[in-house]
Amino acid sequence: MDFVTQGAFTPVEALIGGLLIGLAAALLWLANGRIAGISGILGHALFARGEDRGWRVAFLLGLPLGAGLVVLVSGPLEQRIATSQGILIAAGLLVGFGTRLANGCTSGHGICGVSRGSARSLMATATFMAVAGATVFVTRHVLGTGS
């Protein structure tokens, strides 16, 4: 696998991005009493009706529109993921299965749940962070396929 992004770690941009994510999660909680877990928002947007569907669709549309705004302001990012589509599909299915099993995704548990002190979210976040770290270690240092 070959993951490349333009430039190096930029702490200011990372801080601003994190603050904006936290602000969006806080605003959704304060305005609607809802948790900004993307899997739940997407899953319920497919079947919700009326007003409940409206905020969900607006939130989901804001994700690519926000990314597009960043590209307009700062220019396109060079990104390359060199792996098979089969591996990407398998990884996506595993994430989807894990999301259902954990009753939430990384954004719901890691951002909203941890900030509320949810024991389930603390355990879920610790688990997926540990597995992610182990996956990177095995991929890069055991299999030698990462950069």
Paired residues of 81 in beta bridges: 3
Task: Return the pLDDT at 120.
Answer: 92
Per-residue pLDDT, averaged over 24-45, amounts to 90
pLDDT of residue 122: 94
Section 51-78 average pLDDT:
88
CA 62 to chain CA centroid, Å, is 14
- For residues 76 and 70, what is the distance between their CA atoms, to the nearest angstrom? 8
At 146 the pLDDT is 61
Provide the pLDDT for residue 4. 45
Looking at residues 73-77, what average pLDDT do you find? 83
Instruction: Look at residues 106, 93, 137 and name the one whose alpha carbon lies nearest to residue 40.
Output: 106
Give yes or no for residue 78 having a pLDDT over 70.
yes
Give the model confidence (pLDDT) of 117-139 as tens digits. 999 999 999 998 999 899 889 98
Q: Which pTM does this prediction carry?
A: 0.74
Where exactly are the structural domains of the chain? Answer: 3-142
* Identity of residue 86: G
Long-range contacts at 39-48 (CB < 8 A, ≥ 24 apart) = 39/96, 39/99, 39/104, 39/105, 39/107, 39/108, 40/104, 40/105, 40/108
